Structure 1
Amino acid sequence: MSSQATPTLRLMGIGASPGVAVGHAFILDRKRIRTPKLRLAEAEVEPERMRMKTAVDLSDRQLAELKDQITRTEGSDHALILEAHRLMLHDPMLVDAVNQLIVEDRINAEWAVRRVARKIKHLFDNIPDEYFRERRSDVDYVADRIIRNLMGQVVDEEVEVPAEAIVVAHDLPPADAAMMARSGRVAGFVTDLGGQTSHTAIVARARETPAVVGAGRASEQISPGDLVAMDGTRGIILVNPTEEQLQSFREEQRRHQEAEQVALATKDLEAISTDSFRIRLNGNMEFLEEIPSLLAHGAEGIGLYRTEFMFLDRKTAPTEEEHYRAYRQVLEAMGGRPVTIRTLDLGGDKVPGKTKHEKEPNPAMGLRAIRYCLSNRELFRTQLRALLRASVHGNLRLMFPLICGVSELREARSELEACRTELGRAGLPVGKRFPVGIMVETPSAAIIADRLAQEADFFSVGTNDLIQYSLAIDRQNREVAYLYRPLHLSVLRMLETIVGAAKAANIPVSMCGEMAGDPLYTLVLLALGFDELSMTSGQIPAVKRFIRRVSRVDAAELLREAMELTTAEEIERFMRTEMDRRFVDTPDRAPELTGDAPSGRTTG
Structure 2
Amino acid sequence: MASFTLQGIPISRGITIGRAHLLRPAALDVQHYLIAQEQVEAEVRRLQDAIAKVHKELQAIWADLPPDAPTELGAFLDVHALILSDPMISEAPLDIIRTRHYNAEWALVTQIDALSAQFDEIEDDYLRERKADIQQVAERVLKVLTGSAHDLPRATGIDESNANMIVVARDISPADMMQFRNVAFTGFVTDEGGQNSHTAIVSRSLGIPAVVGMGNASRLIVQDDWLIIDSDAGVVIVAPSALVISQYRDRQAVLLKARKKLNRLKKTQAVTLDGVEINLLANIELPQDAVAALEAGANGVGLFRSEFLFMGRTGQELQLPTEDEQFSAYKEAVLAMKGRTVTIRTLDVGADKPMDASEHNILNPAMGLRAIRYCLKEPQIFLTQLRAILRASAFGHVHILIPMIAHAFEIDQSLAMIAQAKAELTAEDKKFDANILVGAMIEVPAAALSLPMFVKKLDFLSIGTNDLIQYTLAIDRADHEVAHLYSDTHPAILQLLHMTVSAAEKAAIPVAICGGMAGDVRLTRLLIGMGFRELSMPAALLPEVKQEILNTRIESLQPLVKKILRCYDPAVIQDTLTQLASAGKTDTLH
Query: Using the alignment, how far apart are the partners of 1:168 and 1:128 within structure 2?
Result: 27
Query: Using the alignment, how far apart are the partners of 1:248 and 1:536 within structure 2?
Result: 30
Query: Using the alignment, how far apart are the partners of 1:53 and 1:483 within structure 2?
Result: 43
Corresponding residue of 1:593:
none
In the superposition, relative to structure 1, how do residues 22 and 376 fare at CA in structure 2: closer, same or farther (>3 Å)? Answer: same
Q: Any idea what the Cα deviations from partners look like across 1:319-360, whole Å, max 9, x if unmatched?
A: 235544443343333333222222233335643436467988
In the superposition, relative to structure 1, how do residues 540 and 85 fare at CA in structure 2: closer, same or farther (>3 Å)? Answer: closer
Corresponding residue of 2:31:
36
In the superposition, relative to structure 1, how do residues 117 and 71 fare at CA in structure 2: closer, same or farther (>3 Å)? Answer: farther
In the superposition, relative to structure 1, how do residues 122 and 568 fare at CA in structure 2: closer, same or farther (>3 Å)? Answer: same
Corresponding residue of 2:260:
261
Query: Using the alignment, how far apart are the partners of 1:168 and 1:292 within structure 2?
Result: 33
In the superposition, relative to structure 1, how do residues 217 and 93 fare at CA in structure 2: closer, same or farther (>3 Å)? Answer: same
In structure 2, give the amino acid aligned to 1:165. M
- Cα deviation for residue 295 of structure 1 reads 4.2
- Alignment RMSD: 3.3
Corresponding residue of 1:227:
226
- Cα deviation for residue 177 of structure 1 reads 0.5
Corresponding residue of 1:206:
205
Matched, 1:134 2:137: no
In structure 1, give the amino acid aligned to 2:263. L
Matched, 1:541 2:539: no
Name whichever of 425-434 and 526-535 sits farther off: 425-434
Query: Using the alignment, how far apart are the partners of 1:266 and 1:490 within structure 2?
Result: 35
In the superposition, relative to structure 1, how do residues 111 and 373 fare at CA in structure 2: closer, same or farther (>3 Å)? Answer: same
C-alpha contact (below 8 Å) 1:77/1:288 kept by paired residues = no
DSSP-derived class of the 2:88 partner:
helix
Map 1:164-183 onto structure 2 (within 5 A). 164-181=164-181, 183=182
Corresponding residue of 2:304:
305
Query: Using the alignment, how far apart are the partners of 2:471 and 2:559 within structure 1?
Result: 28
Q: Could you tell me which runs of 5 or more consecutive residues in structure 2 were left unpaired when the two chains were aligned.
A: 158-163
- Cα deviation for residue 138 of structure 1 reads 3.4
DSSP-derived class of the 2:33 partner:
coil
TM-score normalised by the chain length of structure 1: 0.85
C-alpha contact (below 8 Å) 1:527/1:559 kept by paired residues = yes
- Cα deviation for residue 424 of structure 1 reads 3.9
DSSP-derived class of the 2:134 partner:
helix
Name whichever of 504-513 and 416-425 sits farther off: 416-425
Query: Using the alignment, how far apart are the partners of 2:350 and 2:297 within structure 1?
Result: 33
Matched, 1:457 2:451: no
Q: Any idea what the Cα deviations from partners look like across 1:527-553, whole Å, max 9, x if unmatched?
A: 222120122334333332332223222
Q: Identify the match of residue 115 of structure 1 among 110, 128, 140.
A: 110
Query: Using the alignment, how far apart are the partners of 1:294 and 1:73 within structure 2?
Result: 14
In structure 2, give the amino acid aligned to 1:336. G
- Cα deviation for residue 89 of structure 1 reads 4.2
Q: Any idea what the Cα deviations from partners look like across 1:106-159, whole Å, max 9, x if unmatched?
A: 2322322222233333443444544443333333344344344444x2557776
Query: Using the alignment, how far apart are the partners of 1:507 and 1:577 within structure 2?
Result: 31
Corresponding residue of 1:68:
63
Q: How many residues align?
A: 579
C-alpha contact (below 8 Å) 2:300/2:337 kept by paired residues = yes
In structure 1, give the amino acid aligned to 2:420. A
- Cα deviation for residue 570 of structure 1 reads 1.2
Q: Any idea what the Cα deviations from partners look like across 1:284-318, whole Å, max 9, x if unmatched?
A: 23355655654454322222222333454668463
Corresponding residue of 1:343:
346
Q: Any idea what the Cα deviations from partners look like across 1:507-535, whole Å, max 9, x if unmatched?
A: 11111222222233323222222120122
Query: Using the alignment, how far apart are the partners of 1:184 and 1:100 within structure 2?
Result: 40
Q: Any idea what the Cα deviations from partners look like across 1:383-410, whole Å, max 9, x if unmatched?
A: 3233223334443222111222433212
Query: Using the alignment, how far apart are the partners of 2:469 and 2:284 within structure 1?
Result: 21
In structure 2, give the amino acid aligned to 1:530. F
Q: Identify the match of residue 534 of structure 2 among 519, 532, 535.
A: 532
Corresponding residue of 2:374:
372
Query: Using the alignment, how far apart are the partners of 1:555 and 1:241 within structure 2?
Result: 40
Corresponding residue of 1:99:
94
In the superposition, relative to structure 1, how do residues 270 and 68 fare at CA in structure 2: closer, same or farther (>3 Å)? Answer: closer
Query: Using the alignment, how far apart are the partners of 2:506 and 2:150 within structure 1?
Result: 59
C-alpha contact (below 8 Å) 1:32/1:144 kept by paired residues = yes
Map 1:307-456 onto structure 2 (within 5 A). 307-312=306-311, 316=318, 318-320=320-322, 321-347=324-350, 350-353=353-356, 355=359, 363-426=365-428, 428-431=430-433, 433-456=435-458
Query: Using the alignment, how far apart are the partners of 1:199 and 1:560 within structure 2?
Result: 37
C-alpha contact (below 8 Å) 1:437/1:456 kept by paired residues = yes
In structure 2, give the amino acid aligned to 1:193. E
Query: Using the alignment, how far apart are the partners of 1:169 and 1:349 within structure 2?
Result: 23
Corresponding residue of 2:161:
none
C-alpha contact (below 8 Å) 2:78/2:311 kept by paired residues = no
C-alpha contact (below 8 Å) 1:496/1:528 kept by paired residues = yes
Query: Using the alignment, how far apart are the partners of 2:221 and 2:588 within structure 1?
Result: 33
Query: Using the alignment, how far apart are the partners of 2:131 and 2:297 within structure 1?
Result: 34
- Cα deviation for residue 412 of structure 1 reads 0.7
Q: Could you tell me which runs of 5 or more consecutive residues in structure 1 were left unpaired when the two chains were aligned.
A: 1-5, 589-604
Name whichever of 377-386 and 406-415 sits farther off: 377-386
Corresponding residue of 1:601:
none
In the superposition, relative to structure 1, how do residues 444 and 9 fare at CA in structure 2: closer, same or farther (>3 Å)? Answer: same
Name whichever of 575-584 and 254-263 sits farther off: 575-584
- Cα deviation for residue 184 of structure 1 reads 7.3
In the superposition, relative to structure 1, how do residues 171 and 369 fare at CA in structure 2: closer, same or farther (>3 Å)? Answer: same
C-alpha contact (below 8 Å) 1:264/1:296 kept by paired residues = no
Query: Using the alignment, how far apart are the partners of 1:210 and 1:293 within structure 2?
Result: 21
- Cα deviation for residue 265 of structure 1 reads 0.6
Query: Using the alignment, how far apart are the partners of 2:577 and 2:75 within structure 1?
Result: 43
Corresponding residue of 2:154:
160
- Cα deviation for residue 368 of structure 1 reads 3.0
In structure 1, give the amino acid aligned to 2:175. A
Query: Using the alignment, how far apart are the partners of 2:355 and 2:423 within structure 1?
Result: 28
Give identity over the alignment, percent.
35
- Cα deviation for residue 415 of structure 1 reads 0.9
In structure 2, give the amino acid aligned to 1:185. A
Query: Using the alignment, how far apart are the partners of 1:587 and 1:254 within structure 2?
Result: 18
In the superposition, relative to structure 1, how do residues 293 and 80 fare at CA in structure 2: closer, same or farther (>3 Å)? Answer: closer
- Cα deviation for residue 483 of structure 1 reads 4.4
DSSP-derived class of the 2:252 partner:
helix
Query: Using the alignment, how far apart are the partners of 1:423 and 1:184 within structure 2?
Result: 52
In structure 1, give the amino acid aligned to 2:255. H
- Cα deviation for residue 176 of structure 1 reads 2.2
C-alpha contact (below 8 Å) 2:552/2:585 kept by paired residues = no
- Cα deviation for residue 279 of structure 1 reads 0.9
Query: Using the alignment, how far apart are the partners of 1:199 and 1:364 within structure 2?
Result: 17
In the superposition, relative to structure 1, how do residues 296 and 27 fare at CA in structure 2: closer, same or farther (>3 Å)? Answer: farther
- Cα deviation for residue 484 of structure 1 reads 4.0
Corresponding residue of 2:500:
498
Matched, 1:275 2:278: no
Query: Using the alignment, how far apart are the partners of 2:245 and 2:412 within structure 1?
Result: 57
C-alpha contact (below 8 Å) 1:20/1:232 kept by paired residues = yes
In structure 2, give the amino acid aligned to 1:45. V
C-alpha contact (below 8 Å) 1:15/1:213 kept by paired residues = yes
- Cα deviation for residue 36 of structure 1 reads 2.5
Corresponding residue of 1:592:
none
